[in-house]
Chains A and B, each alone.
Chain A
């Protein structure tokens, strides 16, 4: 049955009022040559059980969802407590276009405020916004913010930042004044080392930690080097669980911390939807993009939540706005908030510890196999690059034959690293899975 929200009589009436005889006349202006003169090639309607069977058959083709997987590289497999999915499905949250009017939206504004508070605590920063689309666009916005703060246009970005993040940021900023300069990573340590590109024209030094290779950068030293030339240090975090164990970027001297919140209870689904984290120091708040929720008190002393500093934003400032981000990733930020609050400080530390320990175990087992070693020497969190003696694509193909997704061949992004592949181990990987990966590699 087709659902058409008006009756034949109403349609007649509407056509008559515009002086047409039939609905087809509405499309007269389309040349016959480009019109489709047959039915669309779709299947006939199916009964519900048939639809379910068809969907299940399609889902069953997605074997990646059930195979043991050691893929990370920006999207991570983590356990999401049932309460996350359950609570976000409350219709007040699930069906609304993020309402911001304080009179009717205290619940929404409160969770946004909590989200911002938690992001501040994890990143070690003073203010965080209500979220961005995802980690990569948050990084692009950090480029622009650094340009506004420093009034300089040179962005020095490490090649060990996720290649797709760098590509998104390049696309995002290509029509502006930003001059993007890449700096290499050290072949031995896997970390940023050559900082000679930093100068008095540099707006920001942009690094990821743990970086794309899983290496933890020496943020304190990098902050010092950036600040010495008057540039900001932008720290990108793609694996938010690492906040549970590592010293916060803020404590290391970062000026802007951006990241991806997918690890916080958001399933891996073809790359999205994700949620971008964006935090900075209070002195830069007016240059920060995005929405910001604040807390205030009415004349009777009742606490209330409101959007604040909206005067930075596009709907008021038009072309002078700090960015064109006028909204936030509401539902996903809510999921991340519920995840963080469910896990708590203790829980997050525990998950992070499990990740680090399992990754350490996996790395030890893999390097014990003849012909395999770790490509980089820097400390790691839950990802590391394995170097073999044969092309990584072949090695991973063979492992896939054993029913295991063994990791990501680095050659996809880094030519010259044919024998290297990135392995990620999270709390969802059992010891048995790790052992079977090791057996498949051997």
Chain B
């Protein structure tokens, strides 16, 4: 069973978002990391890059495949988790903590409200199981 913290918002692409005023911290969910397998490299954007919602901001390379990662929210990158360069495995071991990927200044602060709640995401996962 995947961990789905209550305080976060989720996307159907399996990203999570933690909102703190107009800044959103974004990573991939426990379910996503588990499906990907051991993560070996993360290609990240740079501070100052801007993205529209549902745009790919980077890619996660696991021993199985390379997958695009999408930002569920439009905004400008304010911080990138450089620690993942040396310890990409943090995405596997601590997807909601040390495995965070980017911080983004949202174009519209309320955008995250439209995302899935923990409960909705859990329903989404069980509906799409198998």
B76 contacts A by Cβ under 8 Å: no
| Contact A316 B65, beta carbon cutoff 8 Å | yes
| Contact B66 A311, beta carbon cutoff 8 Å | yes
What's the Cα separation between A311 and B68 when bound, in Å? 12
B41 contacts A by Cβ under 8 Å: yes
What residues of chain A lie closer than 8 Å to B43, measured between beta carbons? 286
| Contact B46 A311, beta carbon cutoff 8 Å | no
Question: Which of the four size classes fits the interface of chain A?
Answer: under 10
Please give the distance in Å from A289's CB to the nearest CB on chain B. 16
Chain B contact residues, majority secondary structure: strand
**Chain A residue at minimal CB-CB distance from B85:** A283
B59 contacts A by Cβ under 8 Å: yes
What's the Cα separation between A191 and B7 when bound, in Å? 63
Please give the distance in Å from A319's CB to the nearest CB on chain B. 11
A151 contacts B by Cβ under 8 Å: yes
What's the Cα separation between A151 and B49 when bound, in Å? 11
B79 contacts A by Cβ under 8 Å: no
What residues of chain B lie closer than 8 Å to A151, measured between beta carbons? 46
What's the Cα separation between A286 and B59 when bound, in Å? 12
What residues of chain B lie closer than 8 Å to A286, measured between beta carbons? 41, 43
B122 contacts A by Cβ under 8 Å: no
B61 contacts A by Cβ under 8 Å: yes
**Chain B residue at minimal CB-CB distance from A317:** B66
Please give the distance in Å from A148's CB to the nearest CB on chain B. 11
What residues of chain B lie closer than 8 Å to A311, measured between beta carbons? 41, 61, 65-66
What's the Cα separation between A311 and B67 when bound, in Å? 10
Interface residues in A147-170 (C-beta closer than 8 Å to B): 151
A61 contacts B by Cβ under 8 Å: no
What's the Cα separation between A215 and B66 when bound, in Å? 45
Residues A316 and B41 in contact in the complex (CB < 8 Å), given A151-B46, A311-B61:
no
Question: Can you list, as one digit per residue, whether each of B66-95 has a CB less than 8 Å from chain A (1) or not (0)?
Answer: 101000000000000000000000000000
What's the Cα separation between A151 and B61 when bound, in Å? 21
**Chain A residue at minimal CB-CB distance from B40:** A311
Please give the distance in Å from B96's CB to the nearest CB on chain A. 25
What's the Cα separation between A151 and B43 when bound, in Å? 14
A320 contacts B by Cβ under 8 Å: yes
What residues of chain A lie closer than 8 Å to B61, measured between beta carbons? 311
What residues of chain A lie closer than 8 Å to B66, measured between beta carbons? 311, 316-317
Most B CB contacts (10 A, CB to CB) among A151, A311, A317, A320 go to: A311
Please give the distance in Å from A150's CB to the nearest CB on chain B. 11
Interface residues in B41-72 (C-beta closer than 8 Å to A): 41, 43, 46, 59, 61, 65-66, 68
| Contact B41 A320, beta carbon cutoff 8 Å | no
Please give the distance in Å from B58's CB to the nearest CB on chain A. 11
What's the Cα separation between A311 and B61 when bound, in Å? 8
What's the Cα separation between A338 and B57 when bound, in Å? 44
What residues of chain B lie closer than 8 Å to A316, measured between beta carbons? 65-66
**Chain A residue at minimal CB-CB distance from B41:** A286
What residues of chain A lie closer than 8 Å to B59, measured between beta carbons? 320
What residues of chain A lie closer than 8 Å to B65, measured between beta carbons? 311, 316
What's the Cα separation between A151 and B44 when bound, in Å? 13
Interface residues of A, Cβ cutoff 8 Å to B: 151, 286, 311, 316-317, 320
| 12 intermolecular pairs with C-beta atoms under 8 Å apart | A151-B46, A286-B41, A286-B43, A311-B41, A311-B61, A311-B65, A311-B66, A316-B65, A316-B66, A317-B66, A320-B59, A320-B68
Q: Contacts A151-B46, A311-B65, A320-B59 given; 9 further ones with Cβ under 8 A?
A: A286-B41, A286-B43, A311-B41, A311-B61, A311-B66, A316-B65, A316-B66, A317-B66, A320-B68
Give me the 6 closest cross-chain CB pairs, A-B, nearest first.
A311-B66, A311-B61, A317-B66, A316-B66, A286-B41, A286-B43
